[in-house]
Amino acid sequence: MAINWTAKISDFFRSPSRLISKSADTFLSELLHELRNDRVTESTKVYLLSPLCEQPVLLCPTVSVGEETVLELLSLFTHCPETCVQFRSYLLITLTTVLISTSCVSNKIHVCVEFLDLLLEIVQHTSDPSGGSLLFRATACECLQELETCCPGLLAQRLELIGGLWSKEMSRLHQPYARLHILVLKNCVYQLAVDPGSGDDYLKLLVGENAIVASEADEEFGEIDNYSAILSSLITGHIGTVPILQTERDCKDLRSVLSTTLENSFLLTPLCQAAVLHRLMEVVAMVPVIPPSIFRAQLLRILGTSEVCLFHSTLLMKCAYTDSLFSTDDEAFILRRLVVLSQHPLLSKPEKLFFMDYILHFPENRPIGCEIGNENPPVLLTPKLACTLAPTVLNDYATMLARFNLLLLVYQEEGDGEEGKGLVYLYEHLSLLLNILIRGHSQEIVVTFFRAVFLFLACFCHVERYSNDIADKLCMLYHRHNHLTLHILNLADQTSDLFPECNWSARLCRALQGMITEAPPSQLTLTDLSWHLKVLARVAEEGEIPQLSTLRLLSNIMITPSLCMTRDWRLGIGVLQLCRRLMTHPSLDSLFIFLTNILQHLSCYYGDADIQDHARLYYCLLTTLSKEKLTGIITQGLREEGQNVKHSLSCIMADTERLTSVLTIHQTDKPVLRLVELKDPEPQGRNETSRSDAQDCRGLEAYREQFKDSCFGSQITLYYQLNHTMYNLSCFDQVFSIRLHFSIRDNNYEELGVFTVPCLFREKTSPVVKLVLKPSLPVPITLSGSAIFTTLNGFSWYTSLPDIQMFFQQAFLPLDVPTTWGTVVKMSLFKDLWDEISEEEHADYATALFCCQLQAEELGSIVEKHLLPFIISDSTNKAEFKLIFFMSPKFHILLKIISEEDAVNFNIATDNWRLLPHMSSFLGNILKSLPEKVTSNP
């Protein structure tokens, strides 16, 4: 059995939703049944718990199912021997997972209280010092911490107990108890702070006097779900945003608790100390009567630590309390220590970068003009102190960039001018990087160099000596390595966007243009030309740069036979892109003759017909439209107004970016289309093949003879209307060429193909989609669908469809027999099938009884509304009904409904026992739909 479950759980993890869609309750019941089997080993039982730990919501979709599952697992835990420590520990983890995932805790289900008492009882068993007991108690403590984290305030009434356990614990469990205690304390203080009705009396709850207001506290801490979202932001957010607890007392007891916690914190590991300090900082921030000086004694101990997590906690304290806890001398000491640690040889590269980043975001006592999130060196970081962090080419690239950026900001703050030694050093370092890049480079050095150039320009682009020299060096770099064009152009774009006042990008573009246009045409290759065209197109965006030299170069190139005869589409697109930019240039009047000649030459002699067509289009636009209209058409591109996107003529294949946007399949934020089931679809056709001799051969054998035809009864047909959803956007009112894709989360059905719908208009009749399912076992399934379609603007869209649920009753089909078979023959067939299922010992045959209390009119209503198409007996007999449900591809469910004085019996027989649970659910749902509740006994 264990081997079978190993394969089954492996299949489950490969596709959980697909396996569970058949019947989650069946899978869960079989899983729990196997866990009760005493012959299964402990390791196998641990493996059996993994589906509940990984996918609790799939297996327990409702609160009621979650509660029943928790009760089953608690029963397992009670009867499990204490020697099975590993299994018992995993049971605790599974119970915690199910309780939280199914919202049993937030809904205050009674079983949660039982589990909470069990966990508290486990953590108090300190008499057994063995390793197994320690592991078991540690697991229980972590479960308590998880419950308190997800549902703050759950353990509010047990704070004194948890604090006592922490103070008495002498084993390594001291740390999880400490984390749990401080978490509960912080949550209690927070809830008292956000509750306007709390005060000094409720504060006694935090120091052990629980008996005073226990009943009132239950009410106060009962509504725990309202605080969980706020608390999550409190833990990760800025500490200055915490609420304030209004109290008139000095909180001596609470201060004593905090002092004791801080004094005992040195026994914890550094990571645990950091977590405890963070929680305590939040508590102190919420209780203003407790001064931050309570941390002073511990601050002297952790200021000299080499642990990153503790140093981080120190800096968080400085950010929260500034000069109320840290003096100016402390601030200077911390800064010097950061400088030392950021270059310490024994620390790893990530740790050094962490400390260097803290220098740039140093929480000063009195920051001057510092915006949150911006990189600003602290006032106390002078060039003399920072000079030890000067970058060298021997540093790794991340460290080099971090140091380069830090020193740039320091010298910028100090106002280091053109002749400053620090600035000279950094520029020389930049030149060294350029030399390395020219002689031979990797992608890493390329990225590092361009980032360093950008950082230098961001700080000192106003120093013309350096900015002009950088532009010249980049031109030299482009001349030797023109495949770095995209990096150079990106640098020009970024500098133009972020600091346009220095006009450095125009200076670079002018230098690049001069270098390209002055080069001898005889040395020009097609590869070089493709890069030159990209650069010149970017230069054409600068309105103040003359473009006559560019056009002269382009005219000289176009008369070259090798270029005109080429069929390189990409090269032609590059030429067109440059022409398109020139058509919007402010000096178009002076460029007109050159540009028209080039376009006319392209339209006549270029080797690619597509390029010729577009050159001809540009020529027509240039020669027929005014300058204003031409600029408006070309620069418009794609415009979006009221979700109505239009293409201008110049967008067609004129720019590869435009082409990409048209060819990309965009995804909608929400489902746009949906399938709605048709309540009264057209009747399904009957298979009339090979039935001419049916009158001469009637009965069970003749009926089964039909199954020799592979198409007989092999499919279920469902009809749906394709409609728009409530996601109302005008651009989706008319969609075309809709292709529907469906995936079935069940291996009992064949995969569906692709369905095509020509169009869907919101104001017109919706088209009908016919889904043909071919099952091997007709059980309820979930269909996941998606659609790809086109809108009026030419864009293609992808949207998901809401899941389609196929219920068990949708698989019911009337008995498929020749039309000449009357009621007598059908009754005989019913009797033969019933007798065969009842009498023969076949593995798949099964019978069942479903009993309920129904009035005669209620039974008549059920039969008429749900079962009428499947009745084969005389409908005038209201005391007994006989029904046959044909289940594709070859199964049957037979039903005898017998009405007696005190009950109605639904006798069920089927040739596939796997259908019985679904039939029972179907009958139960019918009874639930009645106006009055019906008592049923399946």
pLDDT tens track for 371-413: 555 788 888 888 899 999 999 988 899 999 999 999 999 998 8
Do the beta carbons of residue 870 and residue 814 sit within 8 Å? yes
CA angle 585, 591, 592 (to 5 degrees): 105
* DSSP classification of residue 871: B
Instruction: Work out the average pLDDT over 335-353.
Output: 91
Instruction: Work out the average pLDDT over 77-90.
Output: 90
**pLDDT tens digits for range 772-791:** 898 888 888 888 899 999 88
Distance (Å, whole) CA 236 – CA 793: 45
Distance (Å, whole) CA 366 – CA 187: 31
Distance (Å, whole) CA 273 – CA 424: 45
Q: Residue 668 pLDDT > 70, yes or no? A: yes
pLDDT category at 368 given cuts 50, 70, 90 is low
Q: Residue 595 pLDDT > 60, yes or no? A: yes
Q: Residue 694 pLDDT > 60, yes or no? A: no
- pLDDT of 404 reads 94
pLDDT category at 684 given cuts 50, 70, 90 is low
Element (H, E) at 84: none
Q: Which two tokens stand for residue 671?
A: 């489902």
Which residue from 632, 545, 558, 624 is spatially nearest to 590, judged by alpha carbons?
A: 545
Which residue from 254, 104, 265 is spatially nearest to 179, judged by alpha carbons?
A: 265
- Matching residue, tokens 């082409």: 659
pLDDT category at 164 given cuts 50, 70, 90 is confident
CA angle 598, 602, 607 (to 5 degrees): 150
Provide the CB-side half-sphere exposure for 287 (13 A, CA). 32
Distance (Å, whole) CA 935 – CA 938: 10
Distance (Å, whole) CA 736 – CA 722: 13
Query: Of 584 and 713, which is predicted with more confidence?
Result: 584
Within 8 A by CB and 6+ apart from 237, the residues are: none
Which residue blocks in 378-463 are alpha helix, DSSP H?
A: 383-386, 397-414, 421-439, 443-460
Asked if the peptide bond before residue 889 counts as cis, ω within 30 degrees of 0, the response is: yes
**pLDDT tens digits for range 447-462:** 999 999 999 999 888 8
Pairing, β 638-641 against β 904-910: unpaired
Query: Of 874 and 451, which is predicted with more confidence?
Result: 451
**pLDDT tens digits for range 493-541:** 999 888 888 889 999 999 999 999 998 877 788 888 899 999 999 999 9
* CA 48 to chain CA mean position, Å: 28
- pLDDT of 219 reads 37
Within 8 A by CB and 6+ apart from 866, the residues are: 809, 926
* DSSP classification of residue 529: H
Within 10 Å of residue 670's Cβ, how many Cβ atoms? 10
Distance (Å, whole) CA 39 – CA 23: 26
CA angle 128, 132, 138 (to 5 degrees): 90
Q: In what order do the strands lie in the sheet with 755-761?
A: 665-667, 796-806, 781-791, 734-744, 755-761
If DSSP codes are grouped into helix, strand and coil, which group holds residue 768? strand
Q: Residue 658 pLDDT > 60, yes or no? A: no
Distance (Å, whole) CA 109 – CA 116: 11
Residue type for position 326: F
* CA 169 to chain CA mean position, Å: 41
Instruction: Work out the average pLDDT over 475-487.
Output: 92
Q: Which two tokens stand for residue 122?
A: 């486990």
Distance (Å, whole) CA 179 – CA 155: 13
Count the residues in the chain: 938
pLDDT category at 764 given cuts 50, 70, 90 is confident
pLDDT category at 203 given cuts 50, 70, 90 is low
Instruction: Work out the average pLDDT over 829-851.
Output: 86
Instruction: Work out the average pLDDT over 203-224.
Output: 42
pLDDT category at 937 given cuts 50, 70, 90 is very low
Which residue from 143, 206, 222, 152 is spatially nearest to 183, judged by alpha carbons?
A: 152
Q: Which two tokens stand for residue 464?
A: 């013309």
* DSSP classification of residue 342: T
- Matching residue, tokens 């569906």: 752
Distance (Å, whole) CA 359 – CA 619: 59
Which residue from 448, 515, 437 is spatially nearest to 475, judged by alpha carbons?
A: 515
Q: Residue 188 pLDDT > 90, yes or no? A: no
Q: Which two tokens stand for residue 347?
A: 């620390």
Instruction: Work out the average pLDDT over 887-905.
Output: 86
Q: Which two tokens stand for residue 279?
A: 């929680």
Of 21-35, 100-114, 208-222, minimum mean pLDDT range: 208-222
Q: Residue 336 pLDDT > 90, yes or no? A: yes
3-state helix vs strand vs coil in the chain, percent to 5: 60, 10, 30
Percent of the chain with pLDDT over 90: 27
Residue type for position 445: I
Query: Of 315 and 819, which is predicted with more confidence?
Result: 315
* CA 437 to chain CA mean position, Å: 40
**pLDDT tens digits for range 261-281:** 888 888 888 999 999 999 999
pLDDT category at 464 given cuts 50, 70, 90 is confident
* DSSP classification of residue 371: P
- pLDDT of 680 reads 62
Q: Which two tokens stand for residue 726?
A: 């409530």
Instruction: Work out the average pLDDT over 703-707.
Output: 79
pLDDT category at 237 given cuts 50, 70, 90 is very low
Element (H, E) at 255: helix 252-264
Of 29-38, 583-592, 657-666, 730-739, minimum mean pLDDT range: 657-666
Partner residues linked to 724 by β-bridges: 673
Q: Residue 688 pLDDT > 80, yes or no? A: no
Do the beta carbons of residue 621 and residue 649 sit within 8 Å? yes
Whole-angstrom CA distances from 492 to 91, 116, 486 are 61, 63, 10
Q: What is the distance between the terminal CA atoms of the chain, rounded to a whole angstrom?
A: 29
Do the beta carbons of residue 803 and residue 784 sit within 8 Å? yes
Pairing, β 665-667 against β 796-806: parallel
- pLDDT of 385 reads 92
Instruction: Work out the average pLDDT over 716-739.
Output: 87
**Mean pLDDT over the full length of the chain:** 82
Instruction: Work out the average pLDDT over 130-158.
Output: 86
Burial class (CB in 10 A: 0-12, 13-18, 19+), 235: middle
Distance (Å, whole) CA 901 – CA 202: 63
pLDDT category at 865 given cuts 50, 70, 90 is confident
- pLDDT of 413 reads 82
- Matching residue, tokens 């975001």: 361
**pLDDT tens digits for range 744-762:** 877 788 888 888 999 999 8
Q: Which two tokens stand for residue 334?
A: 């911390």
Q: Residue 56 pLDDT > 80, yes or no? A: yes
CA angle 89, 171, 129 (to 5 degrees): 65
Q: Which two tokens stand for residue 933?
A: 């509740």
- pLDDT of 636 reads 64
Q: Residue 232 pLDDT > 70, yes or no? A: no
pTM: 0.64
If DSSP codes are grouped into helix, strand and coil, which group holds residue 690? coil
Q: Residue 935 pLDDT > 50, yes or no? A: no
Q: Residue 933 pLDDT > 50, yes or no? A: no
- pLDDT of 183 reads 92
